[in-house]
A and B are shown apart, each in its own frame.
Chain A
Amino acid sequence: MSNIVNAMYNIRQFDELARRDSLIHRMHPLAKLLATLVYTVLLVSYDKYATIALLPFVFFPVYVAAAAKIPLEPLLKRLLYIEPMIVGIGLLNPLFDHGTVVVLGYAISSGWLIFLSIFLKGTLAVTSALLLIATTGMDGVALSLRKLMVPKIFVLQMMLTYRYISVLLEEAARTVQAYDLRAFSSQRLKREVWGPLLGQILIRTMDRAQRIYDAMCLRGFSGEYCIGKAARPGWKDIIYVMTWGVLSAAFRGINLPLWLGNLLTGAGK
């Protein structure tokens, strides 16, 4: 149950965030998608030991979150769910990497650098992906996919999935609750009810699909999905993508932290 409620809450929260208004929200969806993609590609292109060198990649999510006025709480919450898996894989590295590295005079396994690197990359990639949906919304994503020449049928199908997720989550929640109330045991479904419970929802779902199809046909649907014309990207959007593309590439290239550190400590000369 808690899973279902969490999922429902999570989707609604991000959907609502995406319907707010800000400088970032008004940006063309495709621009936001491209900026995030370029950022992610450059981020993961760092080698496995890169840690401090990739810290400048913090600027992008911080900027987007601040400019779009996205609260930190939903982002952090999601990170908490995702991080264990990344940390798990990361933690195995100190076991297998037998190299050592000297940091401030202490020798440690270089596997710890991999762990830290994976952790940082994971956190930054997840945050920027969440910020993309929190500032763009599913409609915006659909629009950018159309601009990228993804066939309409796929986009329509994906949007229908998105639309009915909340309906079906509610239905699943009701069904599981009805089971819980009479099962008196746990929130897990016993083997005997797997088929009936899931099968019932499945059959209801297929009947619903039929009704939706009828409703679509009654309003002139003939297999083709007609969407209104979407706004074209303006110069602001182009500047946005260019700025963050160039900045990310520059951060990737010049190791800003080291440069700053050298400046402050006078080392490296």
Chain B
Amino acid sequence: MSHHITEGKDLFYAYPDGHQAVNGISFRIHHGESVGIIGANGAGKSTLLMLLTGILMPANGEVIIGEVRLNKDNMAMIRQRLGMVFQNPDDQLFMTTVHDDVAFGPRNLKIDEPQVEQRVVSALEQVGILHLKDRAPFHLSAGEKRAAAIASVLSLMPDILILDEPTSSLDPKSRRRLMKILGGFEHTKIITSHDLDMVLDICQRVIVMKDGQAIADGPAKGVLTNKVLMEEAGLEMPLSLQGCPVCGGEKT
């Protein structure tokens, strides 16, 4: 299924104030892969996601989604295949009810209303919040908001899910529930996060970013257990891989 390949080729991007946020990064993500993008604050993760979705255009290099080079003309078409979940659900849930928010994308595609309805119900069922259909976003808990934000892109039936810090500001139970939902998806997943335990749990592959470059790209367990590498990126090993603080024993 080569048509679901997501590729970044030698990407560069600098903000108007001169800050070089992405500084020559290349990667190739295959269909069905789950890739975690990790790095300290300011490493360029969010900018990279914006480049992948065409919110920002690279100064240099190219983004290829399913063999097609992303440009202004094919952007609308390519974006249908990408589902981007923002870090702050309040930025994504801009309608006044959960239902209308989930229906926003399909309606923009000019799909018939009965089919829109089907998609809404199915998207809400996938994240387990069908009962919140008619609620206002400000009546939702953080976990429910996150689920609604995910449903709002699932209704577009994307091939590739892009999630920016999906577990931030969630309580442990909501986080666990969200990880279960994410683990159940067969989509290609690209996830940025500081929650390295979640990355370890969900992603097979990890790209480590530092100063806008990839300093490592490999299987999750190998990368995340590499203490030297993690220190260099300004990160720490996932808690679940660190030794037990009480008995001092090493986890295997």
Contact = CB atoms under 8 A, between A and B. Distances in A.
A83 interface: no
A29 B207 CA distance: 52
Contact of B107 (A160, A164, A227): A227
Give the secondary structure class of B's interface: helix
Given A212-B91, A219-B152, A220-B156, A139 B104 contact: no
B169 interface: no
B122 interface: no
Interface stretch (B22-30, B65-73, B77-85): B77-85
A259 to B, nearest CB: 46
Contact of B153 (A19, A163, A219): A219
B109 A220 contact: yes
A139 B90 contact: no
B108 A211 contact: no
Contacts of A12: 138-139
Interface in B88-120: 88, 90-92, 94-97, 100, 103-105, 107-110, 113, 116
A89 interface: no
A195 interface: no
Nearest to A169: B138
Contact of B91 (A166, A208, A229): A208
Contact of B138 (A159, A160, A167, A217): A167
Contact of A139 (B91, B96, B109, B156): B96
Interface residues of B, number: 36
A226 B53 contact: no
B212 interface: no
Contacts of B94: 160, 163-164, 212, 215-216
A220 B138 contact: no
A167 B90 contact: yes
Nearest to B88: A211
A143 B132 CA distance: 21
Nearest to A19: B134
A229 B113 contact: yes
Contact of A222 (B91, B108, B135, B139): B108
Given A211-B91, A215-B92, A226 B134 contact: no
B136 A15 contact: yes
Nearest to B50: A214
A228 B79 contact: no
Nearest to A227: B107
B138 A228 contact: no
A97 B189 CA distance: 76
Given A19-B134, A218-B84, A219-B156, A139 B105 contact: no
Contacts of A139: 96-97, 100
Contact of A214 (B55, B103, B113, B136): B55
A221 interface: yes
A219 B108 contact: yes
A162 interface: yes
A16 B139 CA distance: 9
Interface in A51-97: none
Interface in B165-203: none
Contacts of A228: 100, 103, 107, 113, 116
Interface string A162-181: 11101100000000000000
A220 B96 contact: no
A30 B113 CA distance: 21
A138 interface: yes
Interface of A: 12, 15-16, 19, 138-139, 142, 159-160, 162-164, 166-167, 208, 211-212, 214-222, 224, 226-229
Q: Which 3 A-B pairs have the closest CB atoms?
A: A220-B108, A219-B105, A226-B107
15 contacts: A12-B139, A19-B134, A19-B135, A138-B96, A139-B96, A167-B90, A167-B138, A212-B92, A214-B86, A215-B84, A215-B86, A215-B92, A218-B84, A220-B80, A228-B100
